[in-house]
Amino acid sequence: MQIFKTPNINFFRWRWQALGVSTIVILVGVSTIWSGGGLPLGIDFSGGTAVVLRFEERTPEEAVRMAISSVEGEKVVQQYGDPTENEVLIRLPQIAEETGASLEQGANSVVEAIESAGLGEFEVQSTDIVGPVIGRELQQKGIYATLAALAGILIYVGIRFRFSFAVGAIAAVFHDILVTLTFLTVFGYELSLNVVAAILTITGYSVNDTIVIFDRVRENLRSMRRDKLELVVNRSVNQTLARTIITSATTSLAVLALFLFGGEVLHGFAFTMLVGIISGTYSTVFIAASTAVFVNERRANQQVSTAPGLTGGKKRSRRQKMKIRAS
């Protein structure tokens, strides 16, 4: 079975339109994040307390809210997971003073308040308490890990391919991270440790996709030495298109299973992966390759204009070819 024969689509003709669509999506994300006062941080990063309770019987959120009205601070009560599970998530803000005893105070007083409110039998499913020190540390570590991973990949791609390819790969990754953050914010997901893990995975996945195309470009450059890079890249994108789409489809299927059946804890993770995979496929085809070509042309032009006379340009192109052969 074959969905399509090797297609011949001119992706470069669409590059400005694609750039436009991506810019709009990212702008929507930035403005949503901006108007919401920054990224919606979960308690992993902001600090605070989250308690999940499972009631024996159906208990409206409003009743829970009433029961804990005596507990200090701004509380958030929301249904958690599948409605038939009768689970409620209660979030409390960060306690200002970080003294040993008071860290758990919020969680304890919530449980006590609900016990005394007579809402029927319930079970504490999970309690998460994150102090401000840990929250800050996790934030720093998250940013550091993402940047370090990007740098590592940039260096690897730079060594194995060309510098301009590495820039293309990183542009695609940044695109995917921004698009994913946009969707997370718009759909009301919070940034948690699991979501950051998913974003890092997308980073790997997006580069993975891009490398497959670049690998093909490198191979094709040997047989299409006289053609413009733009043409070679476009041909490579077309040749690998079947693989790009099939892989995305199968991985999406696996992640979709996770999204549907993986339970509430992994919901944010699976959602992030799903968006990231789709965005990753799109950016591979439209963003990575055209950025690589663009950067390559700019560098070539700069070399020509700074080198006096034609000989400089020739030298450059010879060097380029040698590099291609060497890699």
Partner 1 sequence: MYPPEEKVRLGLDLKGGVHMVLRVQTDDALRIETETSMERVREVLEVRSIGVGAMAMESPTRFRIESISPAQDAEFRAITDEQLLVLYRRESGAGGRYAFEMRPNMAVSLREESVRQALQTIERRVNELGVNEPIVAPHGVGGDQILVQLPGVSDVARAKEIIRSTALLELKLVEQGPAISRETLLQANGGRLPDGMEVVPGTDDTLTPGAAPQSVFYLVRRVAAITGRDLRTARSTLDEYNQPAVSFLLNGDGARKFGDITSQNIGRQLAIILDGRVYSAPRIESRITDEGRITGYFSQEEAADLGLVLRSGALPASLTYLEERRVGPTLGADSVRAGILASVTGLLLVAFFMLVYYKLAGINAILSVALNLLILLGVMAYLNATMTLPGIAGFILTIGMGIDSNVLIFERIKEELASAKNVRLAVAAGFDRVFLTILDTHVASLIAAAFLFQFGTGPIRGFATTLFFGLLSNVFTAVFVSRTLFETILARRRVARLSI
The CB-of-156 to partner 1 minimum distance in angstroms stands at: 6
Query: Please, where are the H alpha helices in 161-192?
Result: 163-186
Which positions ≥6 away from 300 have C-beta within 8 Å? 316, 317, 320
Shorter beta-carbon distance to partner 1: residue 1 or 310: 1
Asked if residue 184 lies in contact with residue 191, where contact means CB atoms within 8 angstroms, the answer is: yes
Q: How near is the Cβ of 84 to partner 1 at its closest, in Å?
A: 13
CA angle, residues 162, 167, 172, in degrees to nearest 5 = 125
Beta carbon nearer to partner 1, 34 or 261: 261
CB of 318 vs partner 1, minimal distance in Å: 25
Residue identified by tokens 């998530």 is 89
Give 260 or 310: the residue with its C-beta nearer to partner 1: 260
Q: How far is the CB of 126 from partner 1 (least distance, A)?
A: 5
Residue with tokens 């997971």: 81
Half-sphere exposure of 62 (CA within 13 A, CB side): 0
Which is closer to partner 1, CB of 115 or CB of 137? 137
Write out the two tokens for 10: 């001119």
**Residue 54 belongs to what H/E stretch?**
strand 48-55
CB of 181 to partner 1, least distance (A): 17
Comparing CB distances to partner 1, the nearer of 79 and 208 is 208
Closest CA to 183 of 275, 258, 268: 275
- 114 vs 138, beta carbon nearer partner 1: 138
Residue 186 is encoded by which pair of tokens?
């718009």
Output the smallest distance, CB 311 to partner 1, in A.
35
Residue 192 to residue 263: CA distance in whole angstroms: 16
Strand partners, 73: none
Distances 180 to 22, 67, 208 between C-alpha atoms, Å: 11, 37, 17
| Cα dihedral 131, 134, 140, 145 sign | negative
Taking the complex as a whole, the smallest distance from the CB of residue 241 to partner 1 amounts, in Å, to 10
